[in-house]
Amino acid sequence: MSDALITAISELEEAQVVDLVQERLAAGADPQAILTACRDGMAQVGKRYEAGEYYVSELIMAGELFKQANALLAPHFAVGDGATKGKVVVGTVKGDIHDIGKDLVVGMLKAGGFEVIDLGVDVPVEAFVQAVKESGAKVVGLSGLITLSFDSMKETVAALEAAGLRSQVKVMVGGGSLTEKVREYVGADALGSDAQAAVSLANQWL
């Protein structure tokens, strides 16, 4: 794809990324489309890392770039009227510290009118159980990007089951490499491909 924003993220051109996002917003472009380009740029960074061209320092830099772009975009998604449609517990599962996608999900859910209990990253299984018990949330969102997180997701769902909470909550999972097969393996109710899907699922369930 030959989108200048995708290339700028892939090349880690900080000033250019900020300029392009601002220019596109000013020109009235769809913030969702801008976000998608940023995500495609991150996917390119991931490929370059896989190819041995980039190292962890570049992943960190890309993460910071994405956060800057998202900070510019976030106000354009804020459409909530203060009313809450229900509670959703969200977190990146044990062993995984990727939070960019999770934060987008949190932001979109809030903008969509949900109260979000954000547990952060590397969240122990028990913390999800505790949060559901305390808040009475009916939806749990688990984020994970590394292969290791599949087992953490499975353990989290099993712990909800063991605590007698599974029948009261719907569980959605998401994150880069997740597939329908993984969703089935971890025992979640649905897989969401992006932050908008998280909002649609929560709307469906609450």
Residues 35-40: contacts with CB under 8 Å, at least 24 apart = 35/69, 35/70, 35/73, 35/104, 37/3, 37/5, 37/6, 37/9, 38/5, 38/9, 38/66, 38/69, 38/70, 38/73, 39/194, 40/1, 40/3, 40/6
Site for ligand B12 contains 172 (CB under 6 A): yes
CB of 196 to ligand B12, least distance (A): 7
Binding marks (x or -) toward ligand B12, 128..167, rule CB under 6 A? -------------xxx-xxx--------------------
Q: Tell which one of 98, 166, 170, 183 touches ligand B12 (CB under 6 A).
A: 98
Distance separating alpha carbons of residues 201 and 188, to the nearest angstrom:
12
Q: Tell which one of 94, 102, 166, 170 touches ligand B12 (CB under 6 A).
A: 102
Q: Tell which one of 59, 111, 127, 158 touches ligand B12 (CB under 6 A).
A: 59
Q: Which SS3 state, helix, strand or coil, does residue 117 take? A: strand
**Residues at the contact surface with ligand B12, assessed by CB under 6 A:** 39, 42-43, 45-46, 49-50, 56, 59-60, 62-63, 66, 95-102, 104-105, 141-143, 145-147, 172-177, 192, 194-195, 197-198
